[in-house]
Structure 1
């Protein structure tokens, strides 16, 4: 659910999503909300959407996803 929401965001909201991802990361480390499977799913969605557009936005999210792994 979270992964789909992040992947569905528009380029305009990327900074908000970035901040949210960092906050989620802080909580997820202790609470184990985000698993590695979620991150791989996020990466797959990003790669899929990179082909259709919003490449800059997706590159930023991809970097964050890699940092979370």
Structure 2
């Protein structure tokens, strides 16, 4: 199976959906909202962070540990 992700402007969405009605498709809606409190916390963290404390993603992901399911 091939999966394709498209970014469609809001004003073109209706047209696009009509166009693909005849195909087998799955609509996925990612709704993620950030509160003002979360934004403030992130802004504070960015303001007080030091670049020497950063880890490259390749190194950071090696340190992740997941709880095993029982």
- Provide TM-score, normalisation by structure 2: 0.31
| Greater per-residue helix proportion | 1
Q: Which has the larger radius of gyration?
A: 2
TM (norm. structure 1) is 0.32
Q: Which has the higher contact order (CA 8 A, sep 6+)?
A: 1
